[in-house]
Structure formats: structure tokens, C-alpha cells
A and B are shown apart, each in its own frame.
Chain A
Amino acid sequence: MNAPNESRRSTITRPFYWSVWREIWENHSVWIVPAIVSAIVLLGSLASASYLPKRRQNALLLDEMHRRAAIEAPYDLAAIMLLITAFIVGLFYCLDALHGERRDRSILFWKSLPVSDLTTVLSKATIPLVVIPLVTFVITVVTQFLMLLISTAVLAPSGLAGTTFQSFNLFRESLVLLYGLITIALWHAPVYAWALLVSGWARRATFLWAVLPPLAIGFFEKVTFNTTHFASMIADRIVGFAPEAFSYSPHTTPLMTPGKYLSSPGLWIGLIFAVAFVVAAIRLRRYRGAL
């Protein structure tokens, strides 16, 4: 009676894999919110479809660079909106990740299973660093593909459909997007890790605890020394990936500069902070119970 059970029980477990799934089951927002933004973008391009042939004719009168920019603009706008959405969703996910389980006391159940604090916290960090970028990539590419279909269908009767493809290359755009998602995720890693740490530490109001101390430091510095080093450091942490990862010149598509990005101290200093925050969050979870 016992023998067949023994062999079945020796199956290999995958705590990290299932812990990541657990997070996705609990946090539908990581894919629902980008999907809603995508739906809004698509509704917008449907609604403006009737103006498209006229706009395209105007665009074709421009020189090549401006024409390319005008034709690409809606696709870039869609991608940028989804990237901003990803950041907001990731931030709010992290602010709740180690707080929600204490609030609803389920931490007692999770801790009754053979899953270490290391595995749990890393699985939570995986959501903003890997899962949300992947979801954003898929949804953005699908959105841009559907936009392309709409515009092709609308422009086909006037014979202008081909002009989109001269300026816009979905494959290249997708490569740039993937590169952008990776560089942004690594650049924002300390922001997410800080939010995770605060969510494991604060008893309530995780958003305020995460945001007010940096604001207070910036304010203090401005009042006391009349300088803004801390504030510009924070601003650089949010948007500073762009000048490192891309090279911009007016009216051309930005070029990817991975060498410059990888050799920028900002990236590595940020990653060191991210690791420190995550290690602190892992240590902290050991001491944490239900609120």
C-alpha cells in the first residue's frame, strides 16, 4: 500500500516556478491593465480611421525624415503608453507584494509550506523584472500589429497602404522594444526593490512610506543647501535609462547603444542598490508575521 505512494511522492518540486505562477494568479492587474490600455489605443485608432487618408496625404508632402516621424508617431505613442503602464503596474504590484500576504494573514499559510523566504521574495521580484516586461512586449507587438491592420484596411482603397511599410518596420520596432524593455527593467530594478522592501516593512500606507522619505530628503536638501542633487538623482533613476541606452538625433529613429548602456555607472550602482534592498527584504520576511 505504501510503496506506490512513496514513488509518487518523490516527484521533483519547483517552488520558484509555482511561486511565480502564484503571483500571476493573485495579481491579474499585471496583464489586465496593459490589455485595457491596448484596447483604448485600438479604439482610438479605429475612431480616427476616417481622418487617416487625409493625414497620410499631408504626411507624404513632407521630407523623408518628417514623413517617417509622422507615420511612426501613433505606433511609438502606443508603445510609450504601454511602457508607462508597465512601470506603474510594476510599482504598485511591488508596494503590495509583501504587504498583502501579511494583511490577509495568508503569510501564515505560505510559511507553513517548504518554500524559503529567498524563493518567495525572488519570485515576487521576478514579476516587475521579467513577467511584466514580457507581457508588455507581447501586448505592444499585438497592439501595433492590429493598428497596422486597421491602417492598411483604411488606406487600401486610396492606394496609400504601402506607404506605411516604407516608414514603419514592425520587426525592427519589436527588436527596439525588447531592448528597451530590458534596459528599462534593469534601470528601474532598485525602484522596484525599494518598493518591495517597504511593502515588507511598513504596517500600512506602503505608498506613502515609499514616496515620502525621498521627497523629504529632496526637500531638506533644497531648503538647507539650496541644491537639488538628490532630486535629480531620483529623476535620473526614473528616466535616465534613455540617454544611456539610445542615441538620439533629430528626426531619425533612435539607435540602440548597448555598449554605452552597459558601461554606465548608473546602471551598476542601481543594481547594487537593488540587490541590497532585495537581500534586506528577504531577511525581513523571516521576522514578519500577520499584521
Chain B
Amino acid sequence: MACIEARHLRKAFGPTVALGDVDLTVNEGRILGIIGPNGAGKTTLLNAVLGLTSYEGELKVLGRDPWKSRDELMRDVSFIADVAVLPRWIRVTQLLDYVAGVHPKFDRAKAENFLAKTTIKRTSKVRHLSKGMVAQLHLALVMAIDEKLLVLDEPTLGLDILFRKQFYDSLLNDYFDGGRTIIVTTHQVEEVQEVLTDLIFINHGRIVLQCSMEEFESRYVEVMVNPDQLAAARTLKPLQERNVFGRSVLLFEDVDLAQISALGEVRRPSIADLFVAVMTKEKP
């Protein structure tokens, strides 16, 4: 079943088009990364999915219209924006009481177990927790909810490397079970590359690239070209060429692997490099 189904999704703020005619299908059990520069429309897209903003066009999330039935949808959807969102005045115990009191799919024991592995005190107020601890707390809440869709908008912004690593490890090992769907936007692309099953590049409110990670890996290759074969390599129309320590690295789309491996050392491109290549080509 499709978890998210969008047809001709559009959103404009006055003359500014935040989303222009987006078609998108996200199937159940996928982990989708939405990558785009600042102001590309990522957050607007997520807000539409979460019922936080109105839109034109058709959008169904888990079979519901998010703008008309946000509160019902939120029984099956969780959301972590960046860490500043938990109210600063609340105590950890109050937060657990509240979520347990309003959320039919919250398993308090699970959240307590997760918190027991951290140094977060139950009596602390959120304002007295470090940024990393707030992220852990929010993750503990979300992981104890048996939802169908989890939306993460820059979830690790401002966290140090250790916390970021731990965040994605917990998410994959303790949470993701294949029945759930995750959407994540982030600028720290290299950290999610191993996590994703699907990829979308978005720019100026439009989807400029959409593929599964299997397609990504079979479609794109990067070659560190031997200097004497550079001219030959360039005739194969690389997407992008860049210099790494004096060697030329060329990024190719849909080329014959046998032919290309003769030119130099073949590597798997990073999402970040492909992103740069696509975005520089996009620029008018």
C-alpha cells in the first residue's frame, strides 16, 4: 500500500512558489531521504504531509487527507523537527504522562526502558537538558509509539557526531522493522546514505531526481580517471568532473561498467557528490 500519494501538489506563499506540481508516491516500508538546498521546499512538503499547511492538488497520507484530519492522522504518524521543538518548561515525567494520556499507540514502558539507557533524569525539565539529551528524549517518545510513518526534519541538526551516529543507529536497530515508513530531510547527507532505501532531490519546489537506492547504485558510477585516458573519458559525457588531489574524478550516469572500468578506478559515488552535480546542472 502507498503510504503517501501526492498528485499535482502545489503550495504558494503569495508570489513565491514553495511547491510546484509535485507528484510523489512513497510505499510502505521505505526510508526516503529528501535532499535539497535551503528554501527548496522540503519543509513545505513535510508540512503538507503532516497537515500543518494547506495545499492545492491531491494528497493522501495513509489514506487520509492530512489538512482535514490532522488529529486522526497523528495516531499513525510521528514527527521530529529539529530538537528545539519540545517545550522547555515541561518535566520528563509530565511529558511521559501527557503523551501516554493522549496517544492511543504509546507504550510507556518502552519509552521508560529507552530512557533508562540514557543519563536523562525523570525530574529534569527539558530546559535543563543538553541538546543531545533533548533529541534522545524525543526519540524515546517516538520509538515508543507504534506509528506507521515517521517524519524527520533535520533531526540531528546541531548535535555532535556521537549523538548523530547513535540517533541513526537507534532508529535502525531498535525502531525500523520494515512495516514502518520513514521520511528524512537532512543536510548531513553522508550520514544517511547507508540508511536510505529511496532518494529524492528537490529544488525550487520541484522534484529533480527520484530513484531507489538500488537504482542509484546501478545508475551512477564515479571513476578516478587515469590522466592519460581523461580525453577518452570526457567523450562519454560525464555528469560532472572534479579534482581530488590532482586526479580527475568523473561522475557518469547509465554507462557500460566494463567500458568505464578500463578508464581508471571505479567507485560508488556519494549522494552528496551526485547532489552537487545535479544542482550545478540545474542552475539556470
Chain A residues with a Cβ under 8 A of chain B:
5, 8-11, 13-15, 17-19, 21-22, 25-26, 101, 104-106, 108-109, 111-117, 119, 286-287, 289
Contacts and interface: CB of A to CB of B under 8 A. Distances in A.
A108 B81 CA distance: 8
Contact of B52 (A10, A17, A26, A111): A111
Interface stretch (B1-9, B85-93, B165-173): B85-93
Contacts of B103: 13, 113-114
Given A15-B101, A108-B85, A287 B71 contact: no
A62 to B, nearest CB: 52
A9 B107 contact: yes
Given A21-B97, A105-B85, 20 more contacts: A18-B98, A18-B102, A22-B94, A25-B89, A104-B88, A106-B87, A108-B79, A109-B86, A109-B87, A111-B51, A111-B70, A112-B77, A113-B99, A114-B71, A114-B73, A114-B75, A114-B104, A115-B102, A286-B70, A289-B47
A116 B84 CA distance: 22
Interface in B1-30: none
Contact of B104 (A10, A19, A119, A289): A10
Interface string B156-194: 000000000000000000000000000000000000000
B78 interface: yes
Contact of B94 (A8, A25, A105, A108): A25
A22 B98 contact: yes
Nearest to A2: B146
A25 B90 CA distance: 7
A114 B102 contact: yes
A8 B79 contact: no
Contacts of A286: 70
A74 B155 CA distance: 58
Interface of B: 47, 50-54, 70-75, 77-79, 81, 84-91, 94, 97-99, 101-107, 109, 146
Given A114-B71, A114-B72, A106 B86 contact: yes
A105 B84 contact: yes
Contacts of B51: 111
A113 B73 CA distance: 9
A111 B77 CA distance: 11
Contact of A108 (B52, B54, B75): B52
B51 to A, nearest CB: 8
Contacts of B77: 112
Contacts of A287: 54
28 contacts: A5-B107, A9-B107, A13-B103, A14-B101, A14-B102, A15-B102, A18-B102, A21-B101, A22-B98, A25-B94, A26-B87, A26-B89, A26-B90, A101-B87, A104-B88, A105-B85, A106-B86, A108-B81, A108-B85, A109-B85, A109-B86, A109-B87, A112-B77, A113-B74, A113-B103, A114-B72, A114-B103, A117-B71
